[in-house]
């Protein structure tokens, strides 16, 4: 789990604490997906080190410096709509963040709508990328209005989906897009229970038969790590990892969360969308299947380990439960000591449905301070859980984290930095903010970065001054107030 720094005097954490977000790019044909990915790849500092090797798998990991720290993002190139569609319905997404590419000259087209529906189904947070902003006939405002009409509620227009205008031709806002991806991932897309030591889970995004080497699969690792020689299984097939190769063609001994790698080791060509786990295939009942990586906004998420008597009741519960509930493990059968310890490790509660509860499990839950509830009536279970979520959401909505006054304005690259003094609470990176002028709301935005003096910090407390960059930019004036909330 990535912990946010709370010490304003410390620089950001070391890169090893961060997992790369996995990003999928969707949008109408000719709207600039390929050009965007090419422009992004050119920013990769590692590519220069490796002499610009041509990419060999349908994903690429780029490295760049973010606030003085080396960060990485993995882009999935190939899935396109078809593969994305294959992955949905399995309750998982290979990507943590989506980019909805819309040409700022052509606007919303049929495949844009299809992409929106895929993104919404998968429930991953996404960013609208308005491409071709260098063209004279662009009309970003019109495109924003079109998006609102198809229920893409943009930031600054009453929603919280960020939009950014870029050009793959002039490279304008490409770096800012990368920063925005990190921000969206940190705020909305990151699953705090995923770690390199967690239960291994990966998704096949490409699969083919190599005449010489045998079946090859490109996988995106969502949780845990794999190493050469590990036993793995997917789609009822068990294999042993023979090679792991990254997007730059480098042979690795080990790969971990956020990596996209090609592996050899299965005897058959796996279907795209298959889930790869460690060890022999035990069937779906033992598979730890977090439903999605989006439900991780810590403040509003309730994580549960769910054990039900039958697959039928398990599915019924999963379908009826509030989308904000993060089911970190679901299985049929009785609650085991390992389930309780896993729940403890990810800060989840254990919910049983019609399962036998051994006395030693009840005792273990008390000792380990893991909340356990067993139900025998489905609607009671659903009602109680959904009620907890609703109450949590209410609390979040009401929460104001801090208030700051705008004292100055400094030009910074192509935008302006807001010089603020925090009057109440605190203002933190990633916070939603409302800009007000004499109690009138001017607009909604989000804190992209904060600096105290020259140092990037993650938050600024009452009594301190700082420079903040907000995205989208709002036309502020000195004396305006910035209200930060969840
Ligand atoms: P895709 O089908 O979505 O992958 O779109 P492409 O990346 O192939 O782009 C389609 C066309 O738009 C190509 O002719 C590109 O050169 C052009 N294009 C893409 N991005 C930009 C941009 O930012 N500015 C300009 N002027 N043209 C662009």
| pLDDT at residue 287 in the model | 36
The dihedral of CA 411, 415, 421, 427: what is its sign?
A: negative
Q: What is the whole-number distance in angstroms between the Cα of residue 131 and the centre of ligand 1?
A: 8
Atom of ligand 1 nearest to the CA of 168: 23
Average pLDDT of the segment spanning 425-450: 86
Ligand 1 atom, smallest distance to 38 CA:
7
Q: In which band, very low, low, confident or very high, does the pLDDT at 83 lie, cut at 50, 70 and 90?
A: low
Q: What is the pLDDT of residue 478?
A: 93
Select from 80, 100, 137, 168 the residue to mutate for testing ligand 1; criterion: most ligand atoms less than 8 Å from CB: 168
Residue 445, beta-bridge partner list: 433
134 CB near ligand 1 (under 6 Å): yes
| DSSP three-state, residue 315 | helix
Q: Which has the minimum average pLDDT: 8-12, 61-65, 360-364, 455-459? A: 8-12
Query: Band of the pLDDT at 258, cuts 50, 70, 90?
Result: very high
d(CA 479, CA 368): 51
Structure tokens at 421: 């003094």
String of b and e for 374-399 (b: at least 16 CB within 10 Å)?
bbeeeeebbeebbebbeebeeeeeee
More confident residue, 312 or 260: 260
Would you say the CB of residue 294 lies under 6 angstroms from ligand 1? no
Q: Which atom of ligand 1 is nearest to the CA of 166?
A: 23
For the ranges 42-56, 115-129, 212-226, 453-467, the lowest mean pLDDT is seen at 42-56
Residue nearest atom 27 of ligand 1, based on CA coordinates: 132
170 lines ligand 1 (CB under 6 A): no
29 pocket-lining for ligand 1 (C-beta < 6 Å):
yes
Which of 124-128, 248-252, 274-278 shows the highest mean pLDDT?
124-128
Compute the average pLDDT of residues 7-33.
Answer: 69
How remote is the CA of residue 36 from the centroid of ligand 1, in Å?
A: 8
Q: For residue 21, is pLDDT > 80?
A: yes
Beta-bridge partner residues of 424: 403
Phi/psi region, residue 175 (left: phi>0; alpha: psi -120 to 50; beta: rest), is alpha
| CA nearest ligand 1 atom 6, residue | 32
pLDDT at 228: 93
Q: Is the pLDDT of residue 177 over 90?
A: yes
Q: Which atom in ligand 1 lies closest to the alpha carbon of residue 28? A: 3
CA angle 132–39–167, rounded 5-degree value = 20
Dihedral angle, C-alpha 5, 326, 222, 2, nearest 10 °? 10
Q: What SS3 state is found at 211?
A: coil
Query: Which of 24, 27, 29, 30 to mutate for ligand 1's pocket (most ligand atoms within 8 Å of CB)?
Result: 30
- Ligand 1 atom nearest the C-alpha of 31 is 3
Q: What is the mean pLDDT of residues 72-78?
A: 85
Which residues, listed in sequence order, are joined to residue 459 by a DSSP beta bridge? 428
Q: 336 pLDDT exceeds 80?
A: yes
- Output the residue whose Cα is nearest ligand 1's atom 28: 132
Omega prior to 472 cis, within 30 of 0? yes
CA distance 269 to 252: 22
pLDDT > 90 fraction of the chain, expressed in percent and rounded: 36
Say whether pLDDT at 256 is over 70. yes
Identify the residue whose C-alpha is closest to ligand 1 atom 2: 30
- At residue 49, the pLDDT reads 55
pLDDT recorded at residue 270: 84
Minimum mean pLDDT range among 92-106, 317-331, 458-472:
317-331
How far apart (Å, rounded) are the C-alpha atoms in residues 233 and 12? 38
pLDDT of residue 47: 64
Q: Name the average pLDDT for the chain.
A: 82
For the segment 306-316, the average pLDDT, to the nearest whole number, is 84
CB 128 within 8 A of CB 162: yes
- Ligand 1 centre to CA of 169 (Å) is 8
Tens-place pLDDT, residues 461-483: 999 999 999 988 888 999 999 99
pLDDT score of 3 more than 70:
no
Instruction: Please tell me the distance between residue 94's alpha carbon and the centre of ligand 1 in angstroms.
Output: 25
pLDDT over 80 at 276, yes or no: yes
The pLDDT-based confidence of 84 (bands split at 50, 70, 90) is low
Bigger pLDDT: 223 or 212? 223
Which of the two residues, 297 and 300, has the higher pLDDT score?
Answer: 300
* Stronger pLDDT, 105 or 118, i.e. the higher one: 105
């Amino acid at each position: 789990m990535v912990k946010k720094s709370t010490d304003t005097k410390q620089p950001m954490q070391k890169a090893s604490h961060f997992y790369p977000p996995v990003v999928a790019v969707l949008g109408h044909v000719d709207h600039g997906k390929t050009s965007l990915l090419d422009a992004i790849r050119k920013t990769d500092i590692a590519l220069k080190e490796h002499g610009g090797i041509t990419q060999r798998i349908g994903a690429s990991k780029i490295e760049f410096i973010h606030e003085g720290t080396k960060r990485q993002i993995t882009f999935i190139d190939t899935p396109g709509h078809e593969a994305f569609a294959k992955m949905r319905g399995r309750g998982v997404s290979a990507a943590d963040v989506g980019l909805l590419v819309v040409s700022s000259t052509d606007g919303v087209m049929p495949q844009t709508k299809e992409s929106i529906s895929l993104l919404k189904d998968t429930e991953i947070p996404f960013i609208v990328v308005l491409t071709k902003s260098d063209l004279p006939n662009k009309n970003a405002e019109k495109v924003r209005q079109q998006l609102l009409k198809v229920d893409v509620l943009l930031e600054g227009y009453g929603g919280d989906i960020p939009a950014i205008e870029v050009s793959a031709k002039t490279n304008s806002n490409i770096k800012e897009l990368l920063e925005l991806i990190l921000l969206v991932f940190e705020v909305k897309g990151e699953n705090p229970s995923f770690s390199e030591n967690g239960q291994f889970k990966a998704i096949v995004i490409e699969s083919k038969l190599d005449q010489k080497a045998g079946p090859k699969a490109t996988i995106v690792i969502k949780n845990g790590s794999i190493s050469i020689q590990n036993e793995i299984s997917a789609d009822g097939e068990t294999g042993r990892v023979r090679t792991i190769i990254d997007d730059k063609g480098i042979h690795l001994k080990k790969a971990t969360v956020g990596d996209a790698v090609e592996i050899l080791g299965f005897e058959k060509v796996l279907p795209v969308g298959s889930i790869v786990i460690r060890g022999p295939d035990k069937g779906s009942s033992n598979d730890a299947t977090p439903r999605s990586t989006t439900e991780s906004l810590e403040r509003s998420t309730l994580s549960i380990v769910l054990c039900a008597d039958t697959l039928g009741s398990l599915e019924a519960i999963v379908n009826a439960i509030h989308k904000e509930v993060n089911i970190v493990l679901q299985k049929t059968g009785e609650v085991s000591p390992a389930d309780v310890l896993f729940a403890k490790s990810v800060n989840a509660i254990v919910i049983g449905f019609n399962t036998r509860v051994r006395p030693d499990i009840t005792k273990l839950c008390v000792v380990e301070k893991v909340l356990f509830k067993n139900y025998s009536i489905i609607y009671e279970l659903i009602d109680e859980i959904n009620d907890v979520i609703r109450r949590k959401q209410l609390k979040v909505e009401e929460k104001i984290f801090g208030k700051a006054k705008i004292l100055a304005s400094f030009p910074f690259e192509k935008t302006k930095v807001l010089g603020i003094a925090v009057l109440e609470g605190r203002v933190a990176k990633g916070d939603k903010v409302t800009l007000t002028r004499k109690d009138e709301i001017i607009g909604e935005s989000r804190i992209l970065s904060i600096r105290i003096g020259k140092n990037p910090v993650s938050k600024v407390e009452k009594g301190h001054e700082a420079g903040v960059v907000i995205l989208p930019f709002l036309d502020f004036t000195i004396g305006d107030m910035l209200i930060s909330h969840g």
